């Protein structure tokens, strides 16, 4: 039999074009399914830039801290953003957030200061783990080393220290002793803030602390050949020379002091 006489009849009925379309039509779908990149409009870029700027500004306002320092031998008057006044005693430091002020009137104090707070939102003064909260009042805070004392001059103040909280009204004082708050009433509150007028009064204060205050006010270093294990009650004025102030506090105990400037 000749090969040209052989005929093969396909067993499928579909045409060549139909088969091609069935097998390879998916290629077009794949090419069409490529992800499209969506481009932002200029307004969307601007909005994103504004949001980023607002977040950066807010972070800056919250994180930025101003520090005011009264060096040894000097007092410093500070006016806070709301007009509240602070008088810093020598060797004292006050920190606060000026750009966050109207969201939170919080300050931190190391040393001693007399506050005259304008009425408004809550005002908090923190010294280590201790704090004072007020709305509008005047008060004096002594916060040095492990000693903490708050005296209310006008209005009301809430003092929190040693796990206790007390409410003070004028001529009341709270002192932290042995981890507990002790409250005294009917005191002469003006004496506690007398240092703002360069007047210093002491009632039953360790003599070593009195000498330390004189060193702080005059920016001097004091030495003595005698022990200072006495309690002192008395006063002196900074208008006097330091030698005179030291003579006033040393004479009752027969102690002589020397000054190293």
* 167 token code pair: 């409410």
Residue 218 and residue 164 in one domain: no
Question: Does some domain include residue 73?
Answer: yes
Residue 171 covered by a domain: yes
Give the confidence band of 102 by pLDDT, cuts at 50, 70, 90.
confident
Based on the domain organization, do 145 and 244 belong to the same domain?
no
What angle do helix axes 242-250 and 207-218 make, rounded to 10 degrees?
A: 180
- Same domain flag for 103 and 185: yes
**Average pLDDT score over residue span 212-226:** 94
Choose one of 192, 221, 251: the last residue of a domain: 192
183 has a pLDDT exceeding 90: yes
Same domain? For 172 and 247 the reply is no
| Strand (E) or helix (H) holding 20 | helix 16-32
How many domains, in total, are found in the chain?
A: 2
Q: Domain ends where: 192, 207, 242?
A: 192
pLDDT of the residue at 103: 87
pLDDT, tens digit, for every residue of 125-177? 999 999 999 989 999 999 998 899 999 999 999 999 988 999 999 999 999 99
- Distance, in Å, from the CA atom of 170 to the CA atom of 155, rounded to the nearest integer, reads 6
| 166, 159 Cβ separation under 8 angstroms | yes
Do both 229 and 182 map to the same domain? no
Q: What is the mean pLDDT of the chain?
A: 85
Q: Which helix (H) or strand (E) holds 243?
A: helix 242-250
- 107-132 pLDDT, tens digit per residue, is 999 999 999 999 988 999 999 999 99
For residue 154, what pLDDT is reported? 96
Residue 226 belongs to some domain of the structure: yes
Residues 174 and 205 both lie in one domain:
no
70 lies in some domain: yes
Please check whether residues 144 and 215 belong to one and the same domain.
Answer: no
Both 81 and 182 in one domain: the answer is yes
In a domain, 156, yes or no: yes
- CATH number, domain containing residue 130: 2.60.120.1440
- Same domain, yes or no, for 85 and 157? yes
Q: How confident is the model at residue 92 (pLDDT cuts 50, 70, 90)?
A: very high
Instruction: Kindly report, residue by residue over 4-56, the tens digit of the pLDDT.
Output: 554 545 555 556 666 556 655 555 554 455 555 566 677 655 666 666 555 55
Residue 217: inside a domain, yes or no? yes
pLDDT of residue 4: 53
| Structural domain containing residue 247 | 198-260
Confirm whether 41 is domain-assigned.
Answer: no
Residues 87 and 181 in one domain: yes
| pLDDT at residue 37, rounded to an integer | 57
Question: Which of 192, 219, 245 marks a domain boundary?
Answer: 192
For residue 9, the tally of other CB atoms under 10 A from its CB is: 4
Residue 156, phi then psi, degrees to nearest 5? -135, 145
Its pTM stands at: 0.76
148 with 218, same domain: the answer is no
Task: Tell whether 101 is covered by a domain.
Answer: yes
């Amino acid at each position: 039999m000749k090969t040209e006489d052989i005929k093969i009849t396909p067993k499928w009925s579909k045409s060549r074009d139909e088969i091609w379309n069935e097998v390879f039509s998916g290629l077009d779908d794949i090419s069409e399914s490529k992800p499209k990149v969506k481009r932002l409009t200029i307004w969307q870029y601007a909005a994103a830039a504004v949001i980023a700027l607002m977040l950066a500004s807010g972070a800056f306002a919250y994180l930025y801290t101003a520090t005011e320092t009264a060096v040894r031998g000097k007092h410093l008057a500070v006016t806070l953003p709301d007009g509240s006044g602070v008088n810093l005693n020598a060797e004292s430091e006050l920190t606060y957030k000026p750009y966050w002020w109207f969201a939170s009137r919080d300050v931190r104090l190391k040393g001693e200061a007399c506050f005259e707070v304008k009425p408004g939102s809550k005002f908090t003064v923190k010294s280590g783990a201790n704090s004072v909260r007020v709305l509008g009042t005047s008060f004096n805070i002594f916060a040095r080393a492990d000693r903490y004392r708050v005296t209310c001059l006008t209005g009301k103040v809430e003092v929190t220290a040693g796990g206790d909280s007390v409410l003070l009204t004028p001529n009341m004082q709270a002192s932290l002793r042995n981890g507990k708050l002790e409250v005294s009433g009917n005191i002469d509150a003006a004496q506690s803030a007398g240092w703002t007028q360069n007047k210093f009064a002491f009632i039953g204060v360790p003599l070593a602390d009195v000498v330390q205050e004189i060193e702080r006010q005059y920016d001097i270093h004091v030495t003595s050949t005698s022990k200072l294990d006495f309690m002192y009650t008395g006063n002196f004025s900074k208008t006097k020379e330091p030698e005179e102030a030291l003579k006033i506090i040393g004479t009752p105990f027969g102690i002589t002091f020397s000054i190293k400037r």
